[in-house]
Structure formats: structure tokens, C-alpha cells
A and B are shown apart, each in its own frame.
Chain A
Amino acid sequence: EDQVTQSPEALRLQEGESSSLNCSYTVSGLRGLFWYRQDPGKGPEFLFTLYSAGEEKEKERLKATLTKKESFLHITAPKPEDSATYLCAVQGSGGGADGLTFGKGTHLIIQP
């Protein structure tokens, strides 16, 4: 059974204060690890896909990295508009379902 654990559950930062969010996972045959952003009252918005250990992806102030057991979402010099819940999900090749297994998310607040 695929499992995803995200930490911390919540994080409050000052504007400009860089930090990292963690996603630990266990999966049978990784097909992809996905990062999403979710704003209140909205659906998850796709950010990145990572496929293999050592891979990195960047978009504006966000950078996602992947190892065989963890992924990190690094946020550099965040702004208040980066406040959201960040979700990590994996898709494995074991079992019949092709859906994603999600973590519970990290609720990020950036204070001006």
C-alpha cells in the first residue's frame, strides 16, 4: 500500500523567510511524485512532477527535489500570495488503481 506523510502540518513564515516542506513516501514502483497547491474553496492546482531520484524542478520561488524516500518543496523568499496548502501525491505501479495517493498537506502562511 502506497503511503505519503507530509511535514510539518502547518508552517507560518515571515515574508522573505525561506524554508522547506517535506514529503516522505513509500510506494511500489514509483510512476511519479506530484506537488499541488490548494487555495481555500478551490481544487488542487498542479505544480510539479518528479519521476526519479536526483530530479529537480523549479517554478518562480518554488523548487521541488526528489530522493528515493523523500521529496522537498523549497520556498525561497516567499510572498504572502504563496500562502496555501501544499499537497504531495504519489502514483505507484502496484495494485489496480491508477489514482494518486495524497498526503494530508502542509498549510503554509506567509505573513507580510
Chain B
Amino acid sequence: NAGVTQTPKFQVLKTGQSMTLQCAQDMNHNSMYWYRQDPGMGLRLIYYSASEGTTDKGEVPNGYNVSRLNKREFSLRLESAAPSQTSVYFCASSATLTRGGGQPQHFGDGTRLSIL
């Protein structure tokens, strides 16, 4: 009963290094999301993918790229890491919006990323 799985759980980078955060879901959801969570702030949307083959920017997309590899997997890439990107990153997935309203998003346990 995995749900949303994120790897790695922890990572330390130096400024300027690149890395990719991985996310996979086994709930057959169409929509997937990347958020960041910083102390004193709510979760903020970085990018989302409404369906396989589509991606769109959220509230804080600068410095990030995403790839929807297939229906299960959605990765987040930092091309040149900066200290301001130190954060906890969460991936989420949900069923498609219906006429009845929004669908709940289900979250992984996060990747804790420190950039020195």
C-alpha cells in the first residue's frame, strides 16, 4: 500500500550542483504535483501535471524543471542549486477534477534538501 513514494529522503548539495528528485504513485491518478514547504510558510506549488504529457507552472517555478515520465512518475530537477532552494519538497497526486468538485491530493513523505 505504497501510495506516493519519493526518493531520496535526504540530500545535501553544494551551490551550483544539479539533482533530480523522483516521485512515483501507484494509485492510477492522472494529476501530480510538486510543492515546497518552508518554516513559517504554507506549502507552495512549484509545478503540476494534470495528465501524462502535460506540465504547468505553479506559484514558485523559478529554478526548477519537471518531467512527467509516464502516468506513474513525475520528477523535479534543480539545474543549478541555490541556498534559497533549501526546503522540504513534497510530491502529491490526485484523481482528475470532476463536476462534483476538487479531489483530495495524497502526499509522499518528502525529500529534505539542504544546499550549502
Q: Interface on A for B, CB 8 Å cutoff?
A: 4, 31-32, 34, 36, 41-46, 49, 51, 87, 89, 91, 96-105
In the complex, the answer to whether A102 meets B43 with C-beta atoms within 8 Å is yes
B116 within 8 A of A: no
Q: Known contacts A32-B101, A97-B48, A99-B33; is A44 also within 8 Å of B42 by CB?
A: no
In the complex, the answer to whether B104 meets A46 with C-beta atoms within 8 Å is yes
Select one of B57, B104, B108 contacting A49, CB under 8 A. Answer: B104
Q: Known contacts A51-B100, A104-B40; is A43 also within 8 Å of B45 by CB?
A: no
Closest B residue to A32 using CB positions: B102
User: In the assembled complex, how far is the CB of residue A38 from the closest CB belonging to chain B, in whole angstroms?
Assistant: 9
Q: Known contacts A43-B107, A43-B108, A44-B90; is A99 also within 8 Å of B45 by CB?
A: yes
Number of A-B residue pairs having CB atoms within 8 Å of each other in the complex: 72
Closest A residue to B42 using CB positions: A102
B28 within 8 A of A: no
Give the residues from 31 to 89 in chain B that come closer than 8 angstroms, CB to CB, to chain A. 31, 33, 35, 40-45, 48, 50, 56-59
**18 A–B pairs (Cβ distance < 8 Å), ordered by A:** A31-B101, A32-B101, A41-B109, A42-B110, A43-B4, A43-B107, A44-B90, A49-B103, A51-B100, A87-B42, A87-B43, A97-B48, A97-B57, A99-B33, A99-B48, A102-B43, A104-B42, A105-B42
Q: In the complex, which residues of chain A have a beta carbon less than 8 angstroms from the beta carbon of B56?
A: 96-97
Q: Interface on B for A, CB 8 Å cutoff?
A: 4, 31, 33, 35, 40-45, 48, 50, 56-59, 90, 92, 97, 100-110
Q: Known contacts A34-B104, A43-B108; is A98 also within 8 Å of B97 by CB?
A: yes
User: In the assembled complex, how far is the CB of residue B38 from the closest CB belonging to chain A, in whole angstroms?
Assistant: 10
User: In the assembled complex, how far is the CB of residue B81 from the closest CB belonging to chain A, in whole angstroms?
Assistant: 22
**5 tightest A-B CB contacts, nearest first:** A32-B102, A99-B45, A43-B107, A102-B42, A31-B102
